[in-house]
Chains A and B, each alone.
Chain A
Amino acid sequence: NAGVTQTPKFRVLKTGQSMTLLCAQDMNHEYMYWYRQDPGMGLRLIHYSVGEGTTAKGEVPDGYNVSRLKKQNFLLGLESAAPSQTSVYFCASSLSATGAVNTEAFFGQGTRLTVV
């Protein structure tokens, strides 16, 4: 009963390094999301996907890239990390975005990233 799994859970990067965060869901959900959570800023949407092979920009996409090659996985990449990207990153998935059913989003436990 895994739900949404994020790896890694913690990471420290040096400025300029690259890394990929992996999000995996086993619920056959169409929609997947990446958010960052910063104090006083709530959850801000970075990128999202409405199905396998699709991606779209959210509110704060600069400095990040994503890919959804397989339906169950949604990868978030940082090509050249900056201290401003220090944050807690959450992945979420849902079956749908609208309608009366199946709009509940399920969240991973988060990845705490520090860029020094």
Chain B
Amino acid sequence: AQSVTQLGSHVSVSEGALVLLRCNYSSSVPPYLFWYVQYPNQGLQLLLKYTTGATLVKGINGFEAEFKKSETSFHLTKPSAHMSDAAEYFCAVINTGGFKTIFGAGTRLFVKA
């Protein structure tokens, strides 16, 4: 069965600093991996996804993530944090049947001025 673990329920960075949000997955089949962002009182928005092909995936708002099979990781990064990046971020994997997205517990990102 697939599962996702996000390391760190809260991450705080200064504006302009590197953002690194960690995600490890467990899957018995080649995984399809996602990062979503959720702003307060809103639904989820897809940042990026990995299905096949290039392991470095670029998403919206300057975010990117690298699929590392040997480390079973899919960490999210952004070179320079903006105040507007403050939100909840969810890593997710899709199940083998392709109909259920399994989410991690989320990481809340705080950006300090």
Tell whether A pairs with B.
no
